[in-house]
Amino acid sequence: MKMLETRWGKFIIEVVALAVIFTLVQYFITAGIFNQYHQITLTSMCINIILAVSLNLINGFTGQLSLGHAGFMAVGAYVSVVLTKFMGMPFIVGIIAGCLGAALAGFVIGVPTLRLKGDYLAIATLGFGEIIRVILQNIDYVGGPAGVVGIPKLTSWGWLFAGVVVTIFVIQNLINSSYGRAIISVREDEIASEVMGVNTTNYKVLAFVVGAFFAGFAGVLYAHYFYIIKPETFNFLKSFDVLVMVVLGGLGSTTGAVIAAVFVTLLTAVLQAFPAVRMIIYALILILIMIYRPQGLMGNKELSVKILGRIWSGKDGSFEDK
């Protein structure tokens, strides 16, 4: 057992675990154990995870309240669709361009607006998100309000899995790097970190651009699964949905964001069968969770094997502080 506790041992375990999960789900899909409905739910889940984890970088770790995430998602979706559908480029080109396009939009929006604070930033980002949507609505090349129909279905389980793993891996490593410390210091106390020589604007923009990049990724995956995209899909209510996931999970907790994304996706799917009370239940759950757990499900802690182990052995139920 000793070998397993070394770095390499852990790394190997993790790679194996990822491979097992991937193969298992792939098997479920090919063998038809997951029907189409499960696959669609799975897809929404992965896309929501990517959105929530990336918004969490901006809202949770950097502490900048952004309400424009749907806008970046839209940029990613539309850029990639133009390339894959209209120009016949391969999917990978679409993905790269979509992500870069969204990141560029993040940069253009982030540089001027990140000087704003709190609610002023929130409304400015919301405004930009809506501007993106209105512009798309008026571009006839991409169908205006009707959007683009007949997008090739290129998003496979493999891409979704890769998307989730890469998003979490990159953002988690960014947070644990020296950049990450700087980013978190901006959240904790902007003035103090500035005094310490941290160029807060640069780090805010960095977090914003990375967050937008992955939102674009989510947009690409979304567009190439759901056959149709239209500007209306990416309105400010969509940004709210993602924000809800982030806050439910706990601002500044990647595992929290993932859990909340999974939870919200499943909740949405289950509630489809109760049209009359669906949104009332959703609203009540939202209010109740916030009242009883205002810091979100995970607070700013991460769920890890160690904690699970502790809870399992009954020694200590408390979460590990990062």
Partner 1 sequence: MLELMQQIVNGLSLGAIYALIALGYTMIYGIIKLINFAHGDVMMVGAYIGFFSVSLLGTNIMVAMIFAMIACALLGVIIEKVAYKPLRRATRIAALITAIGVSLFLEYTTIFLLTPQQRIFPQGAFPVHDYNFLGLSVSNKDIFIFISAIVLMIILQFIVKNTKTGKAMRAVSEDKDAAVLMGINVDNTISMTFALGSALAAAAGVMIGVYYNTINPLMGILPGLKAFVAAVLGGIGIIPGAMVGGFILGILETLVSGYGNSLYRDAVAFGVLILILLIKPTGIFGKNTGEKV
Partner 2 sequence: MRISRKVVLVVLMLFMFGIVAGCGGKAGGGEEILVGINAELSGAVASYGTNARDGAMLAIEQINAEGGVLGKKINAIERDNKSQADEAMSVSADLVGKGIVAQIGPLTSGNVQGCTLVMMDNKIPLIAPAATAVNVTVNEKGETLDYIFRVCFIDPFQGTLMAQFAYENLGAKTAVILKDASSDYGKGLAEYFKKTFTEKGGKILAEEGFVKGDRDFRATLTKIRGLNPDFIYVPGYYEEVAPLIKQARELGITAPMGGGDGWDSPDMIEVAGKANLNNTYFTNHYSVQDQNPKVQKFVKAYKEKYNKEPDAFAALAYDAVQLLAQAIKDANSTNPEDIKNALENIKDFEGVTGRMSIDEQHNPVKAGVIIEFKDGKQVMNTRIEPK
- Residues near partner 1, by CB under 8 A: 59, 65, 112-113, 115-120, 122-124, 126-128, 130-131, 134-135, 137-138, 191-192, 195, 236, 240, 243-244, 247-248, 251, 276-280, 282-284, 286-287, 290-291, 294-296
Report yes or no: 58 and 184 within 8 Å, Cβ to Cβ: no
Among 210, 217, 302, 319, binds partner 2 (CB under 8 A): 302
Burial 6-34 (b: 16+ CB within 10 A, else e): eeeeeeeeeeeeeeeeeeebeebbeeeeb
Q: Which helix (H) or strand (E) holds 301?
A: none
Q: Is 26 in the site for partner 2 (CB under 8 A)?
A: no
Partner from partner 1, partner 2, none binding residue 240, C-beta < 5-8 Å depending on class:
partner 1
Report yes or no: 121 and 113 within 8 Å, Cβ to Cβ: yes
Q: Count other Cβ atoms within 10 Å, centred on residue 153.
A: 10
Residues in region 244-273 near partner 2 by CB under 8 A:
254-255, 258-259, 262-263, 265-266, 268-269, 271-273
**Beta-strand (E) ranges in the chain?**
148-149, 228-229
Report yes or no: 194 and 117 within 8 Å, Cβ to Cβ: no
Query: How far apart are the C-alpha atoms of 176 and 268, rounded to whole Å?
Result: 33
Residue number with CB closer to partner 1 (123 or 162): 123
Residue number with CB closer to partner 1 (47 or 55): 55
Residues in region 131-190 near partner 2 by CB under 8 A:
137-138, 143-147, 149-150, 153, 164-165, 168-169, 172-173, 176
Q: Considering the complex, what minimum distance in angstroms separates the CB of residue 238 from partner 2? A: 9
Write the binding mask 79 to 118 for partner 2: x where contact by CB under 8 A, - elsewhere: ----------------------------------------
Euclidean distance between the first and the last CA atom of the chain, given in angstroms as a whole number: 26
Q: Give me the amino acid identity at 44.
A: S
